[in-house]
Chain A
Amino acid sequence: MAYPYQLGFQDATSPVMEELLHFHDHTLMIVFLISTLVLYLISLMLSTKLTHTNTMDAQEIETIWTVLPAIILIMIALPSLRILYMMDEMNNPLLTVKTMGHQWYWSYEYTDYEELNFDSYMIPTTELKPGELRLLEVDNRLILPMETPIRMLISSEDVLHSWAVPSLGLKTDAIPGRLNQTTLMSLRPGLFYGQCSEICGSNHSFMPIVLEMVPLKSFESWSSSML
């Protein structure tokens, strides 16, 4: 989950999010390189009275500052496309879970074997127990097995919503009349928090998502207890 004064991403819980973290580091490094260069050149220009006002052409530098940015863009594009295709890989999910966005809660359906569905409403601030997180806790969490690929099918029953869990690198729009798919794979057990990420009305900020990742055996005994 997010914490106060946080500057960077949340710790990665899925392999894809780890890749995204490293890609962001790579791209930010390039951003710092270019920004430092530009800042240096601007301060250089501001700190001299020397001028040169009769330049007609400068083929060499024009070549350099065309080719170098092209190379830098390729250096950004190649890892970017690698991760894009990695996110689309078929990985034989063990489980399919459907989530529907509503105003203003999420509902979850596990229909692979039996019919299990429930709604997930935010716990109001006045009803929180000590230690619980304000505006992030829900009454019924999405409970899933850890270390297994899971297919999430995401849609909406009314307006646009977006199902996001930053720590797993997930954000998929919930669009009425459309079924969007994403794959989820958590490397660790625990609780992972997210919030609705598409404006959907007055309680858009009050329909969080909580994933509870547990071992497969715990997941199986929980799901059979729910039926």
Chain B
Amino acid sequence: MSSSVLAKPQMRGLLARRLRIHIVGAFFVSVGVAALYKFGVAEPRKKAYADFYKNYDSMKDFEEMRKAGIFQSAK
């Protein structure tokens, strides 16, 4: 009976290796989610407010609202 010697499988440190890989993975995933929220939601929101107020004319806005008839004090 001919038998080829198989390579000895990795038998130790399996959990430690798994943890090493996944700690790094967990770090990147969680920081990635935070970065996604920051650059997908938080920064666009800041920009939206900055853009809105950059050229905002409150008197023009008021006149449009007044013509629409929504105010009690200014008809």
- Interface residues of A, Cβ cutoff 8 Å to B: 12, 18, 21-22, 25-26, 28-30, 32-34, 36-37, 40-41, 44, 48, 50-52, 140-141, 143, 146-147, 187-191, 212, 214-215, 218-219, 221-222
Q: Which residues of A contact B49 (CB under 8 A)?
A: 12, 18
Given A26-B42, A32-B37, 18 more pairs with CB closer than 8 A: A21-B45, A25-B42, A25-B45, A28-B37, A32-B33, A32-B34, A37-B29, A48-B18, A52-B15, A141-B72, A143-B73, A146-B62, A190-B70, A191-B71, A214-B74, A215-B58, A218-B73, A222-B74
Could you list 14 examples of A-B contacts with CB < 8 Å? A12-B49, A22-B45, A29-B38, A30-B34, A40-B25, A41-B26, A48-B15, A50-B14, A52-B16, A141-B72, A191-B70, A212-B73, A215-B58, A218-B74
Max count, chain B CB within 10 A of own CB: residue among A22, A29, A147:
A29
Cα distance A188–B65 when bound, in Å? 11
Interface string of B15-49 (1 = CB under 8 A from A): 11010001001100111011001100110011001
Closest 9 CB pairs of A and B: A222-B73, A25-B42, A189-B62, A33-B34, A50-B15, A37-B30, A36-B30, A218-B74, A36-B33
- Interface residues of B, Cβ cutoff 8 Å to A: 14-16, 18, 22, 25-26, 29-31, 33-34, 37-38, 41-42, 45-46, 49, 53, 56, 58-59, 61-62, 65, 70-74
Cα distance A52–B15 when bound, in Å? 7
Cα distance A36–B28 when bound, in Å? 10
Q: Which residues of A contact B29 (CB under 8 A)?
A: 36-37, 40
The answer to whether B30 touches A25, judged by C-beta atoms less than 8 angstroms apart, is: no
Known: A25-B41, A50-B18, A187-B53. A33 touches B61 (CB 8 A): no
Q: Which residues of A contact B72 (CB under 8 A)?
A: 140-141, 143, 212
Cα distance A193–B53 when bound, in Å? 21
Residue of B nearest to A215 (CB): B62
Cα distance A52–B46 when bound, in Å? 47
The answer to whether A40 touches B71, judged by C-beta atoms less than 8 angstroms apart, is: no
Cα distance A37–B37 when bound, in Å? 15
